[in-house]
Structure formats: structure tokens, C-alpha cells
Amino acid sequence: GDSVTQMEGPVTLSEEAFLTINCTYTATGYPSLFWYVQYPGEGLQLLLKATKADDKGSNKGFEATYRKETTSFHLEKGSVQVSDSAVYFCALSGRAAGNKLTFGGGTRVLVKP
Amino acid sequence: GAVVSQHPSWVICKSGTSVKIECRSLDFQATTMFWYRQFPKQSLMLMATSNEGSKATYEQGVEKDKFLINHASLTLSTLTVTSAHPEDSSFYICSAPVTGGGNPEAFFGQGTRLTVV
């Protein structure tokens, strides 16, 4: 079945540092890929998405490129802020799975001033 | 984007009682909604798929008699945790996909933190 693997956290960074969170997937067909963010005590918010190979999703300074050849969707941000402290989830959704989302384990990011 | 509203955002109940959680799509119709459960510091696990007008589809290992799902209308799905026990304490989140002429996008409710004492 479908699966998503992302790097374990926690990841602790200083403000303005570069952030990368690795995400790889296995899936049948051509899934859509997502990054969700969860701030403390809140539900999930879609951060960005990509629906086909070589697509780049971007939002709030975050970027991720759909790499079919490496089955990856790594999340990057060039200069993090304290407000980026959250848990980040990589996920995929495929029509073959009835559009259900399969999530990675989540990566907790803590940005210190 | 589309809005999914989940209520309540938190609830504390006594062991043995039942708790109902509502998930509403406010500005779109959802024939399908998904219910997830999240344990502390863990990922989201899909519990079941709620289908309007038919029975819910449960994931392996999820007790359908304990987690009752009803998809009463195109904008409302409910999850009832029956005879709750402390091990049912968790964060429950619903989502609804919006399929607008392309790949669907899932919108999530705010989540419900259930504490069973």
C-alpha cells in the first residue's frame, strides 16, 4: 500500500537558518503530494501541494518539488522564523486509494530566537 | 479555501459515557469525509471514511461499534465514541475533500481533543 516516510524530529534551528525536511513516498499511480503544518493545539493546515511530477509547491517561503524519479517531496525554507515552530506532515493522496490521505510520521520543528 | 468546522474543540467526559463529535462542511457539499485519530507526538491515523447515504468504511483494527459514524447530510458527519475509556483519549480530526475539476484537496477541521477521565 501507499506509505510516506519523513525524517524524524525534533529539528531545532536558530532563526534565519535554512530548513530541510526530507520526505519520500511509495504509491501506485500518480499521487498528489502535500505538506501540512500543525501549530500547537490546532488542527492541520495545508501548507503547499503538488499534483504532478516536477511541480513545485510554494507558500509562506516554503517550497517543495515533486520528484518522481526519486519519489521525494522535500520541504525547504531558506530563512526560518520563530513562528515556523510547528509539526510538519508530508502526505500523499491518490485516486486509487479513494483520495484518502496517507501521512508521514510528522517532524517537529523548533526555531529558537 | 473551503471551510470545515469541527465541534467541540475539546471535551472531557467520564468513563462509560458517549461523546459525539460533529464535522461540517460550511461552504461546500461533501459526500465523503474522513476521520483521523492522532496520539500525542504521533502522526494521524485514518480511522474511517464517512459516506453520505451509506455505511462508513472502517480501517483495519478500528471498532465500528465503538466509533459510530453517521453521515446525515451532504454537509454533516458525526463521530460518536461510545462507552468511552481513558485509552480513547486522543485528538480526533475530520477532513473533507473538495473535488473541483482536478485533483482533490482535503480541508481539515480544527480537531477535537477528547479526554476521558
Residue A12 in this model has a pLDDT that exceeds 90 = yes
For the cut 60, the answer to whether the pLDDT of residue B2 exceeds it is yes
Please name the amino acid found at residue B100.
G
With CB atoms and an 8 Å threshold, state whether B46 touches A100.
Answer: yes
Q: Which residue has the cell 522564523?
A: A81
Contacts A51 to B, Cβ<8 Å? 102-103
Most confident of A4-8, A59-63, A100-104: A59-63
Q: Tell whether B97 lies on the interface with A, counting CB pairs under 8 A.
A: yes
Which pLDDT score, from 0 to 100, does residue A82 have? 96
Please say if the pLDDT value at position A59 is more than 80. yes
* CB contact set of B29 (below 8 Å; sequence gap of 6+): B74, B75
A101 neighbourhood in chain B, CB within 8 Å: 34, 44, 46, 95, 106
Do residues A77 and A88 make contact, with C-beta atoms less than 8 angstroms apart? no
For the segment A78-94, what is each residue's pLDDT rounded down to a tens digit? 999 999 999 999 999 87
Q: How many CB pairs under 8 A join A and B?
A: 58
- CA nearest to B86, candidates B45, B51, B39: B39
A18: nearest Cα among A65, A55, A61: A61
For chain B, percent of residues with pLDDT exceeding 90: 69
**pLDDT one-digit tens code per residue, B49-104:** 999 989 999 999 999 999 999 998 999 999 999 999 999 999 999 999 877 655 56
**pLDDT tens across B4-56, in order?**
899 999 999 999 999 999 999 998 898 999 999 988 777 889 999 999 989 99
State whether B103 and A51 contact (CB < 8 Å). yes
Q: How many CA atoms lie within 13 A of B11 on its CB side?
A: 22
Q: Measured between alpha carbons, how far is B3 from B28 in angstroms, rounded to an integer?
A: 8
Q: Is B34 on the interface with A (CB under 8 A)?
A: yes
